[in-house]
Structure 1
Amino acid sequence: MERVNETKTALVTGANKGIGFAIARGLGAIGFTLAVGARDEGRREEAVGKLRAGGADAFGVALDVTSDASVAGAAEAIERTAGRLDVLVNNAGIAGRTDGGAQDPATLDLDVLRTVLDTNVFGVVRVTNAMLPLLRRADSPRIVNMSSNMGSLELRTGPVLAAYAPSKSLLNSITVQYARGFEGTNVIVNAACPGYVATDFTGFAAPRTPEQGAAIAIRLATLPDDGPRGGFFDDAGTVPW
């Protein structure tokens, strides 16, 4: 992939580890300045240090996607540092606890459902809308929402997780609504499925590396101006959902 011709800035949420860190590193390798969004200060600064050691231009952004105040502060920090935002990757997500049948549909814990939705869906809306003024300053703004084929109503993959899977179904649907709302503008938004990746999210018991999982996000983050809008993609192409 070609390096970007001018300095562009990308915010990756949950970028301190796993797929998020791999996405940040991949975008840094092609010339993006990286805004590393993460809640934990120690892990955030460690990630920034690793990215800089690898030759990337990176800075940390304190970001809790469940907090209006934190998200507003992150937008202000990016405006001060970069002045605009070219790419937003909404990667932060949680699986939610599963003990005691918490995600069995027959015994679904509504508090677990609310918690998962607050990060995986409301958090995406919260961050996206806060960053839109900065994205609109870019020539070719791109938004990538990290989803999962577990949210596919057709594929029905993975274990039964009645909070996590529907959160990704809703995320896909909201992605489409954003794409429709951005019709006729230069803002392109899509959803990405990284596949089954070995991270602490999966207990590292998965066949794909974070770098493999990050590839589709990087591709969607660097789409040409005539690229697809409101789609759901993995390495093989469009994911049925």
Structure 2
Amino acid sequence: MTYNRVGVVTGANKGIGLAIVRQLALQYPKSPLNSGSFLIYLTARDRGRGEAALEDLRNDAQLKQAQALKSDSGQTEIQYHQLDITDQKSLETFAAHIKQMHGDGIDFIINNAGIAMNGFNAELAKITLGCNYYNTMEVCHTFVPLLKPQGRIVNLASMAGHLSKYSDDVRKRFLAAKTEGDISGIMKDFISAVEAGNEKEAGYPSAAYAVSKAGLIGASKALSRAEQEKGSKILVNACCPGYVNTDMTKGNGTKSPDEGAQTPVLLALADIKGATGEFWQNEKPIEW
């Protein structure tokens, strides 16, 4: 079957990712992107959890009441597909599926998959940056050729990645960065500083999650710039969903997952007037 619109959400079996899929289905009918049938890929590492999440959405009372899904006469269909962003083969398999099934391209990808680990040392820092920064940007590069000419990339970052946590020198390096390579250089220097036990003296916080999200914001800006320089109309933005009550915040968040989903969904579905290379929170661009 062919679809008028296609979107992908990574790490979508629970929390903010699942809420994003839900809100996409609810908000699509009134969005400027609405041009008929809409397919959302709910992706997750674990097939059992992904398929259970899909079943929950198919039985969701609000989705049923809104008649959002095709099974209830709506426009949206949700399908599960396995994707582990830390596994190159998994990424390649999913990308091949997208290319085969949607030769005209897809409309957007929302990169929500990420990790937050307890503790802090060089090994944990490498794992955290590996997933949240390097693997997420690899997904971006893999999907750029699979997007429609005016497609969108939305990267879930965090206010933890705000530059107020860095020394003036490191902050200036982030703001002066023009390429993804520049940002990766900052990430490499952070790991080296952690290995030496002097990350604070080097101007970084002792928080791998925060640094990984700062890197993701910076790399999103760099990717947006690179796309613009080659004449592409693909929009690339990063956003903070807010302090959301999920497993990652150990139930301490002040926002519900549906509230946290609002900004990434806006960046995927709304008319954002061509905004790209921005960092968003509470449905508007903010200063990094």
Which TM-score applies when normalising by structure 1? 0.86
Match of 1:170 among 211, 215, 218: 215
| Shift of residue 35, structure 1, vs aligned partner | 0.7
Q: Which residue of 1 aligns with 2:156?
A: 146
State the Cα deviation string for residues 54-90 of structure 1 (Å, max 9, x = none).
Answer: 4240111111111111101111122333332211101
| Shift of residue 124, structure 1, vs aligned partner | 1.1
| Shift of residue 238, structure 1, vs aligned partner | 2.5
Q: Is 2:262–2:283's contact at 8 Å kept on the other side of the alignment?
A: no
Structure 1: segments with no counterpart, 5+ residues: 1-5, 103-108
State the Cα deviation string for residues 132-191 of structure 1 (Å, max 9, x = none).
Answer: 2211xx2520100000011101278xxx65200000110011001111011131200000
Q: Which residue of 1 aligns with 2:41?
A: 35
Q: Which residue of 2 aligns with 1:105?
A: none
The code of the aligned residue for 2:212 comes to S
Say if 1:18 and 1:225 are closer, same or farther in 2 by CA, change over 3 A.
closer
Identity between Structure 1 and Structure 2 (%): 36
> Tell me, what secondary structure is at the counterpart of 1:97?
coil
Q: Which residue of 2 aligns with 1:194?
A: 241
Q: Which residue of 2 aligns with 1:62?
A: 82
| Shift of residue 223, structure 1, vs aligned partner | 4.1
Q: Which residue of 1 aligns with 2:52?
A: 46
Q: Which residue of 1 aligns with 2:146?
A: 134
CA distance in 2, matches of 1:60, 1:95: 24
1:4-15 aligned at under 5 Å gives the runs 7-15=4-12
> Tell me, what secondary structure is at the counterpart of 1:142?
strand
**Higher mean C-alpha displacement, 191-200 vs 223-232:** 223-232
Q: Is 1:66–1:122's contact at 8 Å kept on the other side of the alignment?
A: no
CA distance in 2, matches of 1:171, 1:92: 12
Q: Which residue of 1 aligns with 2:224?
A: 179
1:62-141 aligned at under 5 Å gives the runs 62-83=82-103, 84-98=105-119, 102=120, 109-135=121-147, 138-141=148-151
Q: Is 1:176–1:230's contact at 8 Å kept on the other side of the alignment?
A: yes
CA distance in 2, matches of 1:235, 1:10: 22
CA distance in 2, matches of 1:64, 1:43: 13
> Tell me, what secondary structure is at the counterpart of 2:164?
coil
Q: Is 1:48–1:59's contact at 8 Å kept on the other side of the alignment?
A: yes
RMSD: 1.8
The code of the aligned residue for 1:207 comes to T
Q: Which residue of 2 aligns with 1:106?
A: none
CA distance in 2, matches of 1:192, 1:225: 13
State the Cα deviation string for residues 181-224 of structure 1 (Å, max 9, x = none).
Answer: 11131200000100000001111111100011000001111243
Bigger Rg over Cα: 2
Structure 2: segments with no counterpart, 5+ residues: 30-37, 64-68, 70-75, 167-204
**Higher mean C-alpha displacement, 206-215 vs 45-54:** 45-54
Q: Does residue 1:21 correspond to 2:18, yes or no? A: yes
CA distance in 2, matches of 1:140, 1:52: 30
Which TM-score applies when normalising by structure 2? 0.72
